[in-house]
Structures are given as C-alpha cells and as structure tokens.
A and B are shown apart, each in its own frame.
Chain A
Amino acid sequence: MSHPAHRTIDRTRLIEALVVMAFAVILFAVTFSFKKVPPILAQGIQPTVFPRAILAIMFGLGVIQAVTALRPSAEDLEMLKPKGPIPLIVVLTAALLIGFVALMPVIGTFPALALFLPALSLLWGERRWRLMALSFAGFAGFVYLLFRLIMNVPLP
C-alpha cells in the first residue's frame, strides 16, 4: 500500500526532467531559424519536420520523467540516494584534459604530452617517478611510431 502522506518529490529526477524539457524547447525554437525550401524541393517534408518530431518526443519523455519525479513509487523512493557533489578530482581531470587539447596546437603534441601525462598521473596520486618516466617515455615513443611513422599523420 502506498502512503501519500509519506511521499516525497524526487528532486534530482525533477531537475533532470526540467533540463530535458528546456533543452527540447530551446532547440525547437532554433528550428525556426532553419531556412524554408519550396515544397517541390523539400519533396513534401521540410528539413524541420524530423528534428521537431524528435524534440516533441523528447519533451514528452521529459514530462513523463517529471510526473514520475513528482509521484515516485515506493520502489523509486527506496532507491533514492542523494548524489554528492562532483568530486574535485573529476573537475581537475576534466580541466587537465581541456588544457592538454588547448596546448597541443600551441606548443606541439609531444611537449603537451610531456606535461599532461605526468600531471594527470600525479593528480591521481602516483608518486613512483621512475615508473612514470619509463612508462610515459615508452608511450611517447609508441605514439611517434604509430602516428608519425606508420600512419604518417602530421600531428600538431
């Protein structure tokens, strides 16, 4: 038996649903900026039709998600686990990855590798310097062999 008095709102799911609905609405609005083509060229289906249909479905799914968030079942409530904030290490890892990609065209692939590989390894708690030096030097050699010599890719 469900007890309405004990029901709560699944806030995380509600926020997810609202994000999905907002995303669908914004992109639906963007489709109005698509150029229109004469019916004969569009062969009956304008280029906006398919994306709009998907966005409408997406919005509908968002509504279902919102409704289930407002009326979670007993089973859902049992599974409700508060999500902590994103760990700092994830944010820093993502920042390092973005930094690596931004540095690649500026200082070159191999100098960027020389900075990124030990930086990420250190961030993740590795302190065995000899292992790091050997592994990453070997990896850089492998990259040179594979991309420059075998595949002939002009790396930045």
Chain B
Amino acid sequence: MEPFLLVLQFLADPYNLFIIAAGTLVGLIVGALPGLGSVILIALMLPFVVRMDPTTGIALCAIVYCATTYGGSITAILINTPGTPAAAMTTFDGFPMAQKGEAGRALGIATFSSAIGGILGILVMIVATPLLARVAYHFGPAEFFALAVFGMSMLASISGNSMVKNFIGGAFGLLLATVGTDLTTGIERFTFGQADLYEGIAVVQIMIGIFAGGELLRQATQTKVKRELVAEGVTKLPSLQDFKAIWRTVLRATGIGTFIGILPAEGGKVAAMIAYNEEMRWSKHKDQFGKGAIEGLAAPEAANNAATGGTMVPTLALGIPGGGSTAIILTAMLILGLRPGPALFAEQPDLLAGIFGAMLGANICFLIYGMVGAKFFSRITLIPTTILWPCVICLAALGAFSLQQSMFDVGVMVFFAILGFFLNRHGFAPAPIVMGLILGELIETSLKQSYLIYDGNLWAILQQPIALVFLLLSVVGVCGPLIAKALGAWRANQAALLTGNDE
C-alpha cells in the first residue's frame, strides 16, 4: 500500500498539480504537431530538466511522455497524420470515422481508451516495478551483463526496420559509448586529441542532434505538404452502446500494450500495431476494420498509452530503457546522479512516487483536456512548418550549448543531425543507436567486473542461472524473427507448390 500512499501524497501538493497541468498541456500541443513527438520533446527538454529538482524534472519528462502519446491521436483522427509514430494505427479507423462525420465520437473513444489504457498501465507499473527491482537485488555483474545483452537483442524485433541494420546501429551506439577516457585504465579511446572528448562524447547533444536535427532535415523534404482538417474536433462522450462494444477491446489492448512496453526496446508503436492486429483477429466483423470500426480505434489507443507505463518498468527497475523516450528519461536520471535499479527504491521512494503520480495525473489531466480542448489542439496542427521548425532547431542548438556553455557541443549536435538524416535515409533508425549508447557503459563495466570475479573465465557467466536465462532469451530474441521469417517463406513456397499442382 505504501507506494500508493506516496503517490496520493504527491498528487495532493498544489505545485505538483500545476506541473502536471502545465506539462500535460505542453505534451498535448507537441503531440498534436506532426514530426514532433515525445522523443524530440524530451530530448529538447533535457538541458532544462538537468537544472531542475530531480523529482520535478523526471516527473515532467514522464508527464510529457504520456501526454504526447495521446496528443498524437487527435491529428491522426482529424487530418490523417499521426502526431507521433505510436498513433500511426489510429489513422486506420479514426480518420474514416472523421470522414463519415463522426469526428467527435472518434475523439471521445480515443480519449477514453487512451486514458483507461494509460491508467491501467501505470497501475501495473506501480505494482510491477518494485517487484522487478526486488528481483534485481540478486543481480551481480554477470546478470547485469546478460540483461544488457538481452536489451540489445531486442533490437532484432523492432518492426519496420532491417534486423541487421538495427544491430549495426546498436553496435555504433556501443562504440560511441567507448569514446573518451577509459575509467579503469585512464587510457584515451577515439578522442583524436580533442580535449572536449576526454570525458566522453556528449550524450544529450547526440540525442538532440539525432532526433530533433535529423527530423529538421527530413521535414525540409516535406515543406509542400498541406494539412487540412476534415472536421472540427469537438469531443463527444462515448455512448453506453459504444462503451459496451469497446470495454473488452480496451482491456485486451491494455494487457498487450503493458506487456510489449515492458520488453526492452519496444514501445507504443509496436504495442499499437500488435493490439490492432489482435483485435482484428478477435473481431466478428473484420470487414469493418479500416473503414471506421470503433474497436480498431480503441485498441491501438489503449495499447500505446498502456505501453507508456510498461516501458517505465525496466527503465526504473533495471536501468534498461523500454523505448526511445525512456532512453532519454534514463539519460536525464543518470545526469542528475540517479542510478535506476533496486537502490533507487530504497533510497528515493519520493522520486518514484513522483514519477508514478505524475504519470497517473497526466492521464487524468489529458482526459479532461481532451474532452474540452480537442478543437484547440486540432488547430495547432495548422501551425506552418516553415515557422515552427526554424524555431525548434534554434531551441535545440541553444539547449545543446547551455549544458556546458560549449560550442563544441553544438558542433556535435549539428554533426549528429546530419548523420542522423543520412542514417535514417538508409534505413538505420536512431533508436538502436541510442540504446547502444546508453547500454554501452553497463555492458563494458559488467563484463570487466565479471572477468575479475570469475578469474578470467567468462564462460562462468553461463553458470549463473539468471544470466543464463537472459542470454537464452537473447538467443530466442535474435533467432525468433529469423525462424518466423524462414517458416513464413517455407509456408508460402508450400502454398505455391500446392497451387501449382492443383493447376
């Protein structure tokens, strides 16, 4: 009961309520702007967050993470453009509903499904995170090494990208993490004589560059895109009939979203995709999907918001990011001197209550904003890209400078902006690079510690049961998609052969 009481205590403070209300508003506005999303917003916020009180700063990141995830659905429904990648599946049935003149009903269903999915996902997070952290008490270097390897192995299953390219991106991130002075030996690695690189490469600046800068250059190719509202967004409460039709869907999708969220490297986008496909599989009227089925709208919205709670579980309990946004939140925690893991639960219960409470509050808050302000948020989409993005990139550059008042850092940001654009153009997503960058130090340190503990015999890692389980899961994580693909190809071949024989 104690975590819940601490959460209630956090929510009773008027200052915290103000932070929740303001953070949710900013998150909704940014979520409604196509191209911007939680990852870019949190990356841009980092220079400011690291100057704040740790609880307020991390709670603010968590708030905007929840709010942007929901905010993306408004534009997905009204202009067929998902504000965030997690809302991509929402366009499938949300936009057809808006075209049929049911925009208000669609917004109402999306708002309710998002809030219920989000709140249930956070309740799971409040219960599961301390339990997982308790398990992590038994973790030594071998277990942490295996866990980090498991986190990297999950890059194999990030959908929409080539598995090999994800791993190359992950390896590049790991390599970036080795830049600077090796802490054990004091030897410089990949510094090329640059004094600014002695303490390692600036992680925040890389994130700002690769996410915000890369997106700026991508937006440059889309300046001619015109966005039009098909309907005004006045949210209508779901009717009792609608509610009866979607409650099972919402619960199923919440379960899927939370589970997918907990898996390292996966996030709201994958959760929404799986929930939508599962809903279609369970549905009695599959033909309605893609034409305005309310279940097809409720499922991805409940799943992607539930995933926000899920992704925080491994981030807080183990220090393994659950997705792109949580990777940046994790970076903010590390800069603020907070080491996620079991110790955090013993030493910083107030911080965790703050994060849990802030996320819970954000979900309730966006439910209210969504019901009364959808019209306003839908109009935000119409802010011209030609005005918005020059301001965003200047804010990114000045934010990169402000951390250490170093122009070298701004140069790093610009370099990674250009590199991020090229990599993205060739199918190398930024998320695996960030995963590698964050997990690099943990992998190297735990490997070195294991080497010392087991007297140079690294095979001893396999004799640790928990480490063995994680390493086996890593093998499954890598081989699973390959086997599934091979099976699919074999089945297709068999089907083609059978068809050929019939003819």
Contact = CB atoms under 8 A, between A and B. Distances in A.
A35 B398 CA distance: 36
B1 interface: no
Contacts of A149: none
Interface in B370-403: 384-387, 389-391, 393-395, 397-398, 401-402
Interface residues of B, number: 60
A30 B190 contact: yes
A94 B443 CA distance: 35
Interface string B429-463: 00000000000000110011001100010000000
A73 B444 CA distance: 36
A132 B421 CA distance: 26
A139 B48 contact: no
Contact of B172 (A58, A94, A104, A109): A58
Contact of A135 (B190, B391, B405): B391
B409 to A, nearest CB: 10
Interface residues of A, number: 65
A58 B171 CA distance: 6
Interface in A38-96: 41-48, 50-51, 54-55, 57-58, 61-62, 64-65, 68, 73, 83, 86-87, 89-90, 93-94
B242 interface: no
Given A135-B387, A151-B48, A97 B223 contact: no
B175 A47 contact: no
A20 B168 contact: yes
B448 A116 contact: no
A130 to B, nearest CB: 12
B187 A131 contact: no
B425 interface: yes
Nearest to B178: A51
Contacts of B405: 153-154
A18 interface: no
Contacts of A46: 185
A34 B187 CA distance: 7
A68 B384 contact: no
B410 A101 contact: yes
A145 interface: no
A14 interface: no
Contact of A132 (B164, B387, B407, B496): B387
Given A94-B217, A117-B394, A126-B387, A61 B164 contact: yes
Contact of B386 (A35, A105, A124): A124
Interface string B71-98: 0000000000000000000000000000
Interface of A: 1, 12, 16, 20, 27, 30-31, 34-35, 37, 41-48, 50-51, 54-55, 57-58, 61-62, 64-65, 68, 73, 83, 86-87, 89-90, 93-94, 97-98, 100-101, 104-105, 109, 113, 116-117, 120-121, 124-126, 131-132, 135-136, 139, 143, 146-147, 151, 153-156
When A and B form their complex, which 9 residue pairs have the shortest distance between CB atoms, in order from nearest? Answer: A126-B386, A47-B182, A120-B390, A93-B220, A47-B187, A124-B386, A58-B171, A124-B223, A153-B402
14 contacts: A1-B496, A30-B190, A41-B184, A44-B452, A45-B448, A46-B185, A50-B178, A51-B190, A55-B175, A117-B391, A126-B387, A131-B387, A146-B48, A156-B401
Given A47-B182, A136-B391, A147-B398, 19 more contacts: A42-B185, A43-B448, A44-B452, A47-B184, A54-B171, A54-B175, A58-B168, A87-B220, A94-B217, A100-B397, A101-B410, A101-B414, A117-B394, A121-B390, A125-B386, A135-B391, A136-B387, A151-B48, A151-B402
